[in-house]
Amino acid sequence: MEVRILLPEPFFTEVPVKITAHDVVHVARLARLHIPDKEIEAMTGQLNAILEYFETLQEINTTDIPPSTHAVALTNAFRDDRCSPSLAPEEALANAPETEQSYFKVPKIIET
């Protein structure tokens, strides 16, 4: 079923035009990525180039086209509330760098 409903802000607000070095450092930290200082400038330029590329899309007239968040006009893909077998704990843990007694072992977390 196709649904035509206007989505609220801020999904479709204008994207900030320019990415700054500060934004790059912030996003890198959120993504737990280490970006050497000397690469920040290059990265800033590349990200801005990507945004500029997207700006091409702004040239299209979208006056009569409802916003959407998905590429397909589908809604309500549901499954029934039924169980099926889970993985065995050994399988679930197979890719873990470290395990102990069927737990994933991670660096000490202070926060509770």
Partner 1 sequence: MMVMGYEPVIGLEVHAQLLTESKIFCSCSTQFGQPPNSQTCPVCLGMPGVLPVVNKRVVEYAIKTALATNCTIQRFNQFARKNYFYPDLPKGYQISQFELPIATGGFIEIDTESGTRKIGITRIHMEEDAGKLLHEINGGAAENSFVDYNRTGIPLLEIVSEPDIHTPEEAGEYLKALRAILQYLGVCDGNMEQGSFRCDANVSLRPSGERRFGTKVELKNMNSFRHVVRALTYEITRQRELLEYGDSVIQETRLWDENAGQTLPMRGKEESHDYRYFPDPDLVPLYIEDAWIEALRSQLPELPRQRRNRFIDQYGLPLYDADILVTSRQLADYFETAVRSCNQPKTVSNWILSEVLRFLTDPRDIVSFPVTPEHLAQMICLIHNGTISGKIAKKIFEEMRTTGALPSSIVERHGLVQVSDSSKLEKVIQEILDAHPSLVADFRAGKEKVFGFLVGQIMKATKGKANPRMVNDILREKLAG
Return the structure tokens found at 31.
Answer: 């993504």
* Residue 22 binds partner 1 (CB under 8 A): no
Q: Amino acid identity, residue 42?
A: A
When binding is defined by CB under 8 A, the residue of 13, 58, 61, 101 that contacts partner 1 is 101
- Cα separation, 46 vs 54, in Å, equals 13
Interaction between residue 11 and partner 1 (CB under 8 A): yes
Stretch of 17-25, 37-45, 50-58, 104-112 contacting partner 1, by CB under 8 A:
104-112
Question: b/e for 47-74, b at 16 or more Cβ within 10 A?
Answer: bbeeeeeeeeeeeeeeeeeeeeeeeeee
Angle at which helices 21-30 and 37-55 cross, to 10°? 100
Sole binder of partner 1 in the list 25, 47, 51, 93 (CB under 8 A): 93
Query: Of these, 13, 14, 88, 97, which contacts partner 1 (CB under 8 A)?
Result: 88
By the rule CB under 8 A, 49 interacts with partner 1: no
Q: Cβ of residue 6: shortest distance to partner 1, in angstroms? A: 9
